[in-house]
Structure 1
Amino acid sequence: MLRLPGSVTGLVPHPLSGDTVLQHEIVAEQASSLGHAGRRVEKALLRLAAADPVDSQEVERRLHAAADAVHGYFIQRELCGLRRHDDVIADLSIPGRVLARLGAC
């Protein structure tokens, strides 16, 4: 059993078990990873929006990168127990052409 230093025991009514500490660490890592994946999506979508529409190869590369980022983000959300993606699709304004790459449309 892990015991906190005496200076902070007033903050926690009971000592934390090793399992509890591990669960806190896992949740913190999940949150960090989810945030990283979300920022990756935002950057990929900005790059896609900034692509020169005349350069079809560049648009295709950026579209592929955006779809890859969104796919990873959706997987990370599902691993965290978040199964519905409608809100983040709307919040991030994920274009239909990106979602179509994922088979969502």
Structure 2
Amino acid sequence: MLKLPNTITGLVAHPLSGDAVLQQEIVAEQASSLGHAGRRAALALERLAGDDGTDAERARRLLQAAADAVHSYFIQRELCGFRGHEAVIRDLAIPARVLARLGAR
């Protein structure tokens, strides 16, 4: 009969410490916050892309909202340890005018 290794069957014998449980909770919250920030940025970028540009004030507000959402997403990514944003910029098709609002060149 095949016996499973202790690391699989011995969960009761090796319970997680309070610190390990806390670390798992922190990582779960970071992942949740990152997902929320990413969805918020994508939605703001969709709204900006869908604007017809006939109302200048509305276009300005949409641009600022997109820049704020992308900025928040970048900060959340950095808090999670992700330093480069090039892939996100490409994947979300973040326009240069949004990046310019963030001070990117």
Q: TM-score, normalised by structure 2?
A: 0.88
Say what the alpha-carbon RMSD is for the aligned residues: 1.4
Query: In structure 2, how many angstroms separate the alpha carbons of the residues matched to 1:95 and 1:21?
Result: 40
> Sequence identity, in percent?
68
Listed one character per residue, the Cα deviations across residues 23-49 of structure 1 (whole Å, up to 9, x for unaligned) are: 000000000000000000010001001
Matched residue, 2:3? none
Residue aligning to 2:17? 17
Residue type at the aligned position of 1:92: L
Aligned counterparts of 2:16 and 2:25: Cα–Cα separation in 1:
13
Uncovered stretches (5+) of structure 1, i.e. residues with no partner: 1-8
Asked if the contact 1:41–1:73 (Cα under 8 Å) also holds between the matched residues in 2, the reply is yes
Q: Residue 77 of structure 1 aligns with which residue?
A: 77
Higher radius of gyration, 1 or 2: 2
Larger RCO of the pair (alpha carbons < 8 Å, separation 6+): 2
Residues 52, 58 of structure 1: 8 Å contact kept: no
Instruction: Write out the 4+ residue segments of structure 1 that deviate beyond 2 Å after TM superposition.
Output: 9-13
Task: Give unpaired runs (5+ residues) of structure 2.
Answer: 1-7
1:80 corresponds to which letter in structure 2?
C
Alignment of 1:12-91 (within 5 A): 12=11, 14-91=14-91
Could you tell me which residue of structure 1 aligns to residue 5 of structure 2?
none
In structure 2, the partner of 1:93 is 93
